[in-house]
Structure formats: structure tokens, C-alpha cells
């Protein structure tokens, strides 16, 4: 199986803070990885670098065949549009665009828009009747499902989710997790940051960080 993520000796230093302090691991295509660790341990920094939102101070990071450490700003922009689907804790929808337009925005930045495909994606996450709603008219769970549809619309190589259920109640958390499980079973590669051990157990592997160091990798699935 192809490797989607391969990092080695990854470091990220903010002034005097070593947010990531020499991290190495790799992720196979189709794997679901849970990233866990206390607050401030470097989880978001890791996601940012893997997603091309930030560059490492040193070390190698090859994601979907691309060495993200060597890309310039515009190269990173293309990389994000083509290879990555993001799901954020705060949902982060554009407030003045409707649900379907928020999905189309990702299409627009990727290549061309296809409203029908965007509608289908929203139907798939159970929002077929909320297409023309603005984010403010949607519940948190619904907003996060729009974000999931948006993350999927360009068929990314890697889905990065930073505490995707951190702001949701149990019912909505379950809905979003069910979606992620579905995506996993369809063969998507997912890296998900979570605080909840129960959620962490759904993954194939669990990576634990502490003070920017990788302290433990746990094999969970038995496939």
C-alpha cells in the first residue's frame, strides 16, 4: 500500500517553544489515525504542517507524494486545494455563503464549480433539505456536516480533522463520527485529533504526543 504521509525528524520551533521536537512516523493509504495528547503538545501544529498551512523548521514531510517542506506559498496553496480536506473544530464556514455555496467554494478554488455535485455531497451528509441555509441558520452539528461535505468534494488524498467533534453535543458528535467511519470504510485516509479516548479507539492506530515528542504509537485495529 502507498504511503500517504511520511515524516521524519519533523521540528517546528516558535521562538523558544519547541512545538514539534523531532517527530517521525508514516501513514498508509486508507488508514485512520487518531492523534492524542495534552493541550499544547503540538497536535494542531502537526496538522498544520501536514496540511500545508505552515512549514516545518526542519525535517522531512512528504504528503501525498509532495514534499511540503520545500513548497513555496503558491505551491502550498495548490497543494491544499488538490490534496487536503480540512475539518476544523470551529467548523469555519463562510458566514455569508449558503451551505451549497460553501461546498462550491472549495470546488472553485480547486478547479471549476459543479452545483449538482455540491448538492449531492450535502445530501450524502444528510443535509439535502438545508442547501440554501446560511451557516447562522444551521445547528453546530449541521455546520460540521457541511464542513465534512466541503472537505470531501475535491476527493482529497488526506482528510485532516482537528478535534472535529470538540464543539458538538453527543447526538451530533455521533452523526459526525458515523460519517468519518463511513469515509474510512470507503478507503479515505484520515488523521484526526481528539481528546476523547472513546473516539480515539475507533481509529486504526493512535499516536500520542507530549511536549512536541511522539511518546507512543498504539496499533488498535486487527486487520
Partner 1 sequence: MFARLLVRLLRGSRGRLIVALVALISGATVISALLNLDLDIERKLAQEFSTLGANVVIAPGQTMQTKDAGTAAPSLMDQAIVLSALKQVGSADVVAAAPYLYIVARSAGTPVVIAGTWLDETPKLDPTWKLDGEWIASREDQTQCLVGRDVAKQFHLKQGSEISLEYQRRSAKLDVAAVVDAGGTADSQVFVNLPVAQNLATLGGEIALVQLSVTGNAAAVGDFAARLAQALPQFQVRPIRQVTEAEGELLGRIRLLIVSMALLILALTALCVLATMAALAMERRMDVGLMKALGGSISRVVGLFLAEVGVLGAAGGLIGCIAGLALSRWMGERVFGAAIAARWEIFPLTIALMILVALAGAFPLRLLGRVKPAVILRGE
Ligand X SMILES: Nc1ncnc2c1ncn2[C@@H]1O[C@H](COP(=O)(O)OP(=O)(O)O)[C@@H](O)[C@H]1O
Among 5, 21, 31, 45, binds ligand X (CB under 6 A): 45
Residues 6 or more apart whose CB falls under 8 angstroms from that of 14 comprise none
Instruction: Kindly state the number of chain residues that form the binding site for Mg ion, as judged by CB under 5 A.
Output: 1
In order of 83, 105, 176, the CA distances from 111 in angstroms are 13, 10, 27
Evaluate whether 29 touches 4 at the Cβ level (below 8 Å). Answer: yes
Q: Do 204 and 180 meet the contact criterion of CB atoms below 8 Å apart?
A: no
# residues near partner 1 by CB under 8 A: 35
CA 209 – CA 144 distance, rounded (Å): 26
Distance of alpha carbon 47 from alpha carbon 59, whole angstroms: 15
- Tell whether residue 41 is a contact of ligand X (CB under 6 A): yes
Per-residue binder mask for Mg ion (CB under 5 A), 42-81, x = binder: --x-------------------------------------
Binding mask 163-202 for partner 1 (x = CB under 8 A): ----------------------------------------
If one asks whether residue 143 binds ligand X (CB under 6 A), the answer comes out as no
Element (H, E) at 152: helix 140-152
Please count the residues of the chain.
Answer: 223
32 part of the interface to partner 1, by CB under 8 A: no
Q: Check residue 42 for interaction with ligand X (CB under 6 A).
A: yes
Per CB under 8 A, residues contacting partner 1 are 44, 47-48, 51, 53-54, 73-74, 77-82, 84, 86, 88-90, 92, 94-97, 101, 104-110, 113, 150, 162
Amino acid at each position: 500500500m502507498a504511503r500517504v504521509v511520511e515524516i521524519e525528524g519533523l521540528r517546528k520551533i516558535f521562538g523558544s517553544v519547541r512545538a514539534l521536537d523531532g517527530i517521525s512516523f508514516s501513514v498508509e493509504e486508507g488508514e485512520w489515525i487518531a492523534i492524542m495528547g495534552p493541550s499544547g503538545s503540538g497536535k494542531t501544529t502537526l496538522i498544520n504542517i501536514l496540511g500545508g498551512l505552515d512549514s516545518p523548521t526542519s525535517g522531512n514531510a512528504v504528503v501525498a507524494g509532495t514534499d511540503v517542506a520545500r513548497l513555496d506559498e503558491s505551491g502550498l496553496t495548490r497543494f491544499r486545494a488538490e490534496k487536503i480536506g480540512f475539518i476544523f473544530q470551529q467548523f469555519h464556514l463562510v458566514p455569508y455563503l449558503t451551505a451549497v455555496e460553501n461546498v462550491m467554494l472549495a470546488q472553485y478554488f480547486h478547479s471549476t464549480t459543479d452545483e449538482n455535485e455540491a448538492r449531492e455531497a450535502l445530501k450524502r451528509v444528510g443535509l439535502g433539505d438545508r442547501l440554501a441555509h446560511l451557516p447562522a441558520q444551521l445547528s453546530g452539528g449541521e455546520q460540521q456536516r457541511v464542513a465534512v461535505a466541503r472537505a470531501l468534494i475535491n476527493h482529497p488524498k488526506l482528510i485532516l480533522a482537528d478535534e472535529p467533534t470538540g464543539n458538538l453535543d453527543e447526538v451530533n458528535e455521533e452523526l459526525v463520527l458515523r460519517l468519518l467511519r463511513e469515509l474510512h470504510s470507503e478507503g479515505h485516509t484520515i488523521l484526526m485529533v481528539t481528546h476523547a479516548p472513546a473516539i480515539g479507539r475507533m481509529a486504526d492506530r493512535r499516536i500520542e504526543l507530549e511536549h512536541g515528542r511522539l511518546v507512543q504509537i498504539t496499533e488498535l485495529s486487527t486487520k
